[in-house]
Amino acid sequence: MRQAVYAPQGVVATSQPLAAQAGLAMLREGGSAVDAAVAAAVTLTQVQPGSNDLGGDLFALVWDGKELHGLNASGRAPAALSLAALTGAAQPPNGALGGAQARAPLAPPARGWLPVTVPGAPAGWQDLHARFGRLPFERLFADAVHYAEQGWTVSPTVARRWAESVAAHRALDHPECRAWADVYAPDGRAPRAGELFRNPGAGRALRLIGGSHADSFYRGEIAQALAAYAADTGGLLTAADLAEHTSTWVEPVRTDYRGHTVYEIPPNGQGVAALQALALLDGLPGHGLHEQIEAMKLGFADAHAYVADPAAYPMPDLLDPAYLAARRALIGDRAGDPPPGDPMKGGTVYLAAADADGMMVSLIQSTYQGFGSFVVLPEYGFGLQNRGAGFSLDPAHPNVAAPGKRPFHTIIPGFLFRDGAPLGPFGVMGGHMQPQGHLQLVLATVDDGLDPQQALTRPRWYWHTERQVEVEPEFDPVLVEQLRSRGHEVTVATDRSTFGMGQAIWRIPGGYVAGSEPRADGQAAAY
């Protein structure tokens, strides 16, 4: 069992040790927590490639010592995208978003050019650095460039998921996806744990992004190459789509729970689902596992019905006390039966960083499903996300696909305050698991007083659909039987990837205490 890491000056917690060390190096050089977080995030694109890449999106929460800031660095659909195009290539519903959207007769395609939206991560790195960074932007790319060009030794969890993606890629017949194998399976297979992997094309792209403060990605050489490749292979992404991209600084949304305040990024992310579940539980005199699951179901039902790009559809106030009281009354003694769905697993990385001056960062980035769209830009060695698969094809749904619109996002960074003071950043990656992971980590911290590592190590539950709940093998069998007696259909899962991967850092009088996900290869690196 991993032990919590105590750090007197700073700490970086990620799901892959090389990325944690890259961030730690920035702290040792006098960089800020944002410098450390960006360096770790950039490095993760190389050492955990199935979960994130240069062509993905990013969200972040930053405590600067006085104020909490939110950054939405997610991209928008190409201007040429149409609902008709997505509907014409639609597939049977995958239930990616569960709830009401899972009842749609068809879902957007998940691979190829159609689900590709403008990547927001490179702009997000630059925007974070411009506001809070201390070191030269290009310096933050040094470790990632080194691993891309000189190689890195593949870690076990990454190797296992990489192999699963190779199998998924073999089933595709999209011409635009063929270059993926040249980069990520050059020998016809995924690299095994302990093998060296190089991606010199990504090294080239990283040098261009770092040297241009991301301008090359949106208006320079990389943008031109992306637009040309899309035009040659049937994609909708254009130079204008890339040049018009901007991140958005946002006001975090919040709710209180037992003397603590939990903050999340507002829509188009699903953080409000976790907040609503916590607010529902806060209004109960006491609660157990049954009530936690039922509150989470209600949070998902509303999030999947109302979360969309706020520029297109302002979300109703799902945290209004009167509305919460009405929703809370729906939590009964028996398992409820929410709208059906079949939530899929995501491809995401979450990291947290803190420095000696008290700055703390909660950052998450993703290409969505494993390796995203499987579209890779030749000679530049990076893949593009498939976030367009998160759109609805229902014309009446707030999240219906439209040009220039941001889709529903699963990835959510979290931040916890105690008695009005910042405690620290936290997150649990993993598609539909993310709000559930946030809920369970906060409850373990607030109700049970666990340190970050203990909270992350605790066995998790995962609500799947309807009355179906999965639990990890170590889950208390007494609790399992109690759930079954109340109508929950509980199964003990054998695949731990369902339960997500997280990191957390809490501020303490002597510095920080941190934990890193035991279900991953990660590390909390202290300074």
Q: What are the catalytic residues?
A: 348
Nearest CA-CA partner of 317 in 328, 307, 304, 309: 307
Q: Which of 523, 518, 238 is CA-nearest to residue 404?
A: 238
Query: What are the φ/ψ torsions at residue 268 (nearest 5 degrees)?
Result: -90, 15
Residue 258: HSE in the Cβ half-sphere, 13 Å Cα cutoff: 16
3-state secondary structure 431-481: CCHHHHHHHHHHHHHHCCCCCHHHHHHCCCEEEEECCEEEECCCCCHHHHH
Q: How many CB atoms lie within 10 A of CB 217?
A: 27
d(CA 284, CA 393): 37
Written in H, E and C, the secondary structure of 151-202 is CEECCHHHHHHHHHHHHHHHCCCCHHHHHHHHHHCCCCCCCCCCCEECCHHH
Tell me the one-letter amino acid at 466: E
Q: If DSSP codes are grouped into helix, strand and coil, which group holds residue 55?
A: strand
CA dihedral 347, 18, 360, 249 (to 10 degrees): -40
User: Beta strands 68-73 and 57-63: pairing type?
Assistant: antiparallel
Contact 416, 261 (CB under 8 A): yes
Locus of tokens 């190409």: 78
Residue 264, beta-bridge partner list: 253, 414
Report which residue type is found at 393.
Answer: L
User: CA 370, CA 49: separation in Å to the nearest integer?
Assistant: 9
What's the CA gap between 241 and 188, in Å, rounded?
A: 34
CA atoms within 13 A on the CB side of 365: 36
**304 within 8 A of 410, measured Cβ to Cβ:** no
Residue 142 corresponds to which amino acid? A
